[in-house]
Structure 1
Amino acid sequence: MRDPGQFDAFYADARQRLLLQAFALTGDLGAAKRAVRDGFVAAWHHWHKVSRQDDPEAWVRPVVWQHAQRRHTAHFWRREGSLAAEHRATLDALDELTAIQRRALLLRVLAGLDSDVFCHEIGLTEASAARQQRLAAAQFAIHRDVDPAQVDATLRDLGTPLEVLRLPRASIIRRSGTARRRAHTSLGVAMAGVVTVGAGFAVSHDATASSSIAGPRGASAPGLDGPGAPDAVVHLDPADLLSGSDVTRLAARALDETGTGNNTDGTGLNLPCQTRRYADPKALAALVRHFQTPVAAKKQVATGLVQVVERSADAHAATTAYAATLVWFSDCAGKRMQLLDSYALTGAGDQGALLVVRDWAKPVKTWTIGVARTGSIVTTLARTAADDRRPELKPFQAAVGTAVDRLCSADGGDTCATTPRRVAGPPPPGPSARGMLQAVDLPPIKGVPHAWVGTTPRAATTNPAATTCDGASFTGGGIASSSTRTFLMPQAKLPAQFGLSETIGRFSSVTRAKSFLDGVEKRMRTCEDRDLSATVDEFRHEPKGPVGAVHAWRVTIQVSEHRSVDFWVSLVRRGAVVAEVGFVPVPKAKIDQPTFRALAERALLRLENLPPA
């Protein structure tokens, strides 16, 4: 017998605490209110069981949190406009934490749980849960700019704007729970016949079926082309992968989990530009989990997400697998893919990187890719959105941190996440032509739906990137070694002069490299005096960040009264190495000045990929 009075008293006592927790968890007031309602509706539905619990709130709380994260669609930078500045600052500071850190902190402060209790709710060992809680409190204090002793009071103060909110009366909650119970009972009766008819099939099918995930605490992919020996048991638990509640901020709509397996089915290629099933062919175990937004309505962007995890034999093998994974996104041969941005991720385990890749083949898609290593485990998180807008990176890098936190306590894991931060840096080295531009660095050409193709580098006995104005030669005294390569679009059937070339030279000293560059700049300044048919426009640029100065020019040569030819040329230097990039456009295949300048900056960053002399 369910006692309404007992339930109403429980609802009156707990609803405000759970509303505060859901609001602090998501920063989404609407989602928090609906989650509290749904949580207590479920509690009345199961009140015969919940009322017998020593702590009924412990039963409702996970339901409320799960509903809040599932319903949460607003981003932290789109909060309620009526919030006071101090409350917005608190939510911003919480947004800096990984999902696990945020849960740990809120469970301790707002739910009043000790680490030996809340460790079960966030799926960590007691020691790991306590560590995450301490780290979360320290990080929150830094981001909120408060004394560590004020953390608890600051979080509880989030409840102030919630005191005036009206939640549904207990009687309304009970009516909803009763209606839900009746609906479930009717559905159960209707399904009983179906279950009875299908029982024979279910028994015979289950007796022979094999799961795509090996066991409750093990996942391996045995076979000659997969990780592990046939009888290997490796602790790579599907429970250590991200769940739907961990990735709510990565899309405008909820991401639904669509499947988890050990990557032995199909091609095994889950990532853009991936060239083989496993980054570590000798990996001990692998798991893949896919997420997808429901069918998008008009004007809504479809979003997909995949998490790939590989467990190597040791940290050294995992480091190699981490590098091999990154190489995939520096190649993309034969595809209209462009690597837009490259970052190192600090605070994401032992190693971390974040990349943004655009697939220009219609329909255009933008990939955000995070790769991280903790101990002997490498995880890759890849989100795809069907548009050409720059993605928001902050929620994604937080999700990478959450992925690391879930794996660092697993068998083979090591360093956990703190607060992942991105630092702009060079792209991952390409599989060949290290230190030089790759096809994935080159921009699309408007109106030309074909991919760039690069030639094999050769010694720079001639310099196809040079113009008659700069006359740069990478042969002779002072140059220890040189290479050149050219990029074309052979399928586009463009005029023969179209193309992009790069030539690099390693000089015997930094002084010689500087002298070479000074000589080129002098010849460019005097070119119009030496060649009356030439027009030279300089747009030297000093970008922010780790790259140095970019020296670039547009050279126009008047070949007849009615015809001229343009050349884009740029020289960059890193230490004793100089690179020259030259581009020859044609009327139907051009790029603009900012695009060429960005390409020159990428050439300078690529020089960091050069092996030591």
Structure 2
Amino acid sequence: MNDADLFDLFYKDARTGLLLQTYALTGDLTASRAAVRDAFVVAWHHWRKVQRLDDPESSVRPHAWQYAQRRHTARIWHREKGVPAAAAATLEALSRLTVTQRKALLLTSLAGLELPQAAREIGLPREEAERELAGALEAFVAARGLRAAEDGGAEGLAPLRAVVEGVRWPRATIVRRAGSRRRRVHTTVGAAAAVAAVLVSGTLVTDAAGVRADLDRDAVPPATAPSSQAPPTREISLTADELIGQQQLRSATARRTWATRSTTINDEGNGLVVPCQQERYADPRGVATWERTFRSQTDGQPVLDAVQTAELSRTEQAAGRAFTTARDWYGTCAEERTQLLSTTRVTGLGDQAMLFAVRSWEAPVTTSVVGVARTGALVTTTATRLESDEAPDLAAVQRLLSAAVSRLCGLPEGGSCVAGASLQPAAPLPAGPAPGLLSEIDLPPVSNVERPWVGTEPVQARTNPAATRCEQASFAGRYRGATWRDAATRTFLVPEARLPAEFGITETAGILSARQADAFVAEVRERLAGCEETDDGLGTEVEQVATRDEGDTSLSAWNVTVQVSDERSVTFRMAILRRGTAVAQLTFVPAQDVSMPREAFLALADRALERLPRLSARGGARAG
């Protein structure tokens, strides 16, 4: 028997079984049929390799399942019209399972796989796959009203066979022609259109509007469905095989051993698998998505989790937008009590790449480093999450990100690979309503408080709430003949903590000429230095804790202790900052038992200095 005859026999024997599995997985007959057809096109493309496998169906099934899940709507399970009552009941029972449970049940009950092989195909350890299967059987038997699960749920799944057995299929010669043409031109997007033109040939059923199948629409019975011209299809080259594995993690994180927890297309739960992630996909219109999670748990070391996601977009432009979306998730993290520690640009890694270190102060305290990169039409994210407040390991995540890009850049849709990747500190991304001022993401925690910081709306700085009695600095009106520009002020409080009214962080900033900005800083320093000798400074102690001048950048910080009564004094922290023509004053006023360490305040002053260049008429403040 020649190759074509062997393929034709395989196609005839396996297609209905694969359609049954795919239909049971998605509940979408139209999408499932098109997916199985396209999976066989791929099989002919790689037939020399596929035919040598002990189980060729194991090579076709993952493609069919992934294509079907990509084609049906995001709202997976609907009540499909025209389906026999018994089949509808089976679909309803399957809809109550998670996708992982559904896969475990179908692989063992319909595909006939043993549990170890099913576990490998799902991407789970055997013990976890066994738990998923047991849960699936219990839930399916109960929902379907079966007496027992000894047959692995086969009795309950049987009604679906009647639905798929009447489906009409394209001739094997059509599938082989499509596969042959795909083999010649599959590396270009234009080739996909040519493949689709061969595939339809007036006999295949698909959604002519080019949208994914929706079970809310009336389903056309396959025996009477009219043929239609299908939209171009595209090869999905991104598979789970392109993700990093335990070896890359061991190389990046010395002294750690790793276990793979899951490998999925991220279609369960809320889809948020990376710290600060805001949506399931950075490109919701993308072609393919994968995610893989790992855990390292060693005695004497804090728990370390790792994850990689990879998304394939339709074009490089769409991938560029996806990169920007993901970058903004992590660089402007919206999670409460999460602090941005650093922003780093990575050069020599793909077409674009950045790292972000963040720390969640919710118990247990965790430190995460997230790297996001684009290579061509592919965007990948690698992240680690450590249950500790240790310094973030940027180099380890950069190594992971490099490994991830190296595995993706060689795909047809890939772009630049890795060429001497290096880390360069970068300014934080614009965040909050006033990008030139601090935002909640910049603020460290204070002692004995477990509630989030909340910032007031920035307003024009007609007064300066950050001023002290020593220097009484003003950012309004004129200074030495020049008018302040874009002056804004903002205060941060912890409303849920019920602290005294004076507690909080206040920043006031504005713009002068470079010469006058330098003079303003010098004057504030002079007034603080002589404060204790003035009438305004009676009962005040001033301690300078930091000062530096580097080019057009200046930073000075003080502890100012004010005697408020015979029995009580308050020590607050204050800093004056300059970056070119922009000047800011930053003050933290504590409350009893609620304080901020000196190092944390100085780091906050440095962050304010990083944000100052964005002070402008558009970003400095809202009118108020």
The TM-score, its normalising length taken from structure 1, stands at: 0.60
Residue 276 (structure 2) pairs with residue 270 (structure 1): no
Rounded to whole Å, the distance in 1 between the matches of 2:549 and 2:255 is 33
Larger Rg: 2
What residue is the counterpart of 1:533 in the other structure?
Answer: 539
Tell me the amino acid that sits aligned with residue 288 of structure 2.
A
What residue is the counterpart of 1:518 in the other structure?
Answer: 522
Within a 5 Å distance, the mapping from 1:268-307 to structure 2 comes to 268-293=271-296, 296=297, 298-307=299-308
Structure-2 change in CA distance of 1:204 and 1:301 (3 Å) = farther
Give 1:571 shift.
1.6
> Deviations along 1:198-253, whole A, 9 cap, x unmatched?
696899699899xxxxxxx99xx9699xxxx9976543232222122211143744
Rounded to whole Å, the distance in 1 between the matches of 2:435 and 2:160 is 52
What residue is the counterpart of 1:379 in the other structure?
Answer: 380
Structure-2 change in CA distance of 1:472 and 1:376 (3 Å) = farther
Rounded to whole Å, the distance in 2 between the matches of 1:370 and 1:518 is 41
Classify the secondary structure of the residue corresponding to 2:472. coil
> Deviations along 1:435-484, whole A, 9 cap, x unmatched?
22121211111221112111222222222222122222222233221222
> Deviations along 1:5-43, whole A, 9 cap, x unmatched?
xxxxxxxxxxxxxxxxxxxxxxxxxxxxxxxxxxxxxxx
Give 1:327 shift.
2.3
For the Cα contact (< 8 Å) 1:355–1:370, is it kept in 2? Answer: yes
Rounded to whole Å, the distance in 1 between the matches of 2:265 and 2:552 is 41
Classify the secondary structure of the residue corresponding to 1:502. strand
Classify the secondary structure of the residue corresponding to 2:564. strand
What residue is the counterpart of 1:350 in the other structure?
Answer: 351
Structure-2 change in CA distance of 1:547 and 1:602 (3 Å) = farther
Q: Which runs of 5+ in 1 are unaligned?
A: 1-195, 210-216
Structure-2 change in CA distance of 1:286 and 1:600 (3 Å) = same
For the Cα contact (< 8 Å) 1:222–1:232, is it kept in 2? Answer: no
Rounded to whole Å, the distance in 2 between the matches of 1:312 and 1:608 is 34
Q: 1:559 aligns with which of 558, 564, 568?
A: 564
Tell me the amino acid that sits aligned with residue 570 of structure 1.
A
Within a 5 Å distance, the mapping from 1:447-596 to structure 2 comes to 447-477=448-478, 478-507=483-512, 509-530=513-534, 531-542=537-548, 548-596=553-601
Structure-2 change in CA distance of 1:440 and 1:414 (3 Å) = same
Within a 5 Å distance, the mapping from 1:233-252 to structure 2 comes to 233-248=235-250, 249-250=252-253, 252=255
Classify the secondary structure of the residue corresponding to 2:405. helix
> Deviations along 1:407-443, whole A, 9 cap, x unmatched?
1122332111123221222222225321221212111
Q: 1:598 aligns with which of 598, 603, 616?
A: 603
Rounded to whole Å, the distance in 2 between the matches of 1:603 and 1:491 is 25
User: How many equivalent residue pairs?
Assistant: 403
Classify the secondary structure of the residue corresponding to 2:547. coil
Within a 5 Å distance, the mapping from 1:158-307 to structure 2 comes to 233-248=235-250, 249-250=252-253, 252-293=255-296, 296=297, 298-307=299-308
Classify the secondary structure of the residue corresponding to 1:387. coil
- Which moved further from structure 2: 597-606 or 277-286? 277-286
Rounded to whole Å, the distance in 2 between the matches of 1:519 and 1:222 is 67
What residue is the counterpart of 2:446 in the other structure?
Answer: 445
Rounded to whole Å, the distance in 1 between the matches of 2:412 and 2:313 is 11
- Which moved further from structure 2: 521-530 or 309-318? 309-318
Tell me the amino acid that sits aligned with residue 383 of structure 1.
T
Classify the secondary structure of the residue corresponding to 2:402. helix
For the Cα contact (< 8 Å) 2:491–2:505, is it kept in 1? Answer: yes
Give 1:593 shift.
1.6
Percent identity over paired residues: 37
Give 1:605 shift.
1.3
Within a 5 Å distance, the mapping from 1:417-436 to structure 2 comes to 417-436=418-437
Rounded to whole Å, the distance in 1 between the matches of 2:387 and 2:591 is 30
Rounded to whole Å, the distance in 1 between the matches of 2:435 and 2:243 is 34
Structure-2 change in CA distance of 1:206 and 1:543 (3 Å) = farther
For the Cα contact (< 8 Å) 2:330–2:370, is it kept in 1? Answer: no
Rounded to whole Å, the distance in 1 between the matches of 2:447 and 2:518 is 36
Tell me the amino acid that sits aligned with residue 279 of structure 1.
A
Rounded to whole Å, the distance in 2 between the matches of 1:230 and 1:460 is 58
- Which moved further from structure 2: 518-527 or 592-601? 518-527
Structure-2 change in CA distance of 1:335 and 1:573 (3 Å) = same
Structure-2 change in CA distance of 1:541 and 1:567 (3 Å) = same
> Deviations along 1:123-166, whole A, 9 cap, x unmatched?
xxxxxxxxxxxxxxxxxxxxxxxxxxxxxxxxxxxxxxxxxxxx
Tell me the amino acid that sits aligned with residue 472 of structure 1.
A
The TM-score, its normalising length taken from structure 2, stands at: 0.59
Tell me the amino acid that sits aligned with residue 246 of structure 1.
Q
For the Cα contact (< 8 Å) 2:276–2:335, is it kept in 1? Answer: no
Give 1:603 shift.
0.9
For the Cα contact (< 8 Å) 1:459–1:484, is it kept in 2? Answer: yes
- Which moved further from structure 2: 324-333 or 582-591? 324-333
Structure-2 change in CA distance of 1:311 and 1:459 (3 Å) = farther
Provide the aligned C-alpha RMSD in A: 3.5
Rounded to whole Å, the distance in 2 between the matches of 1:533 and 1:267 is 56
Give 1:378 shift.
1.9
Rounded to whole Å, the distance in 2 between the matches of 1:513 and 1:234 is 57
Structure-2 change in CA distance of 1:203 and 1:351 (3 Å) = same
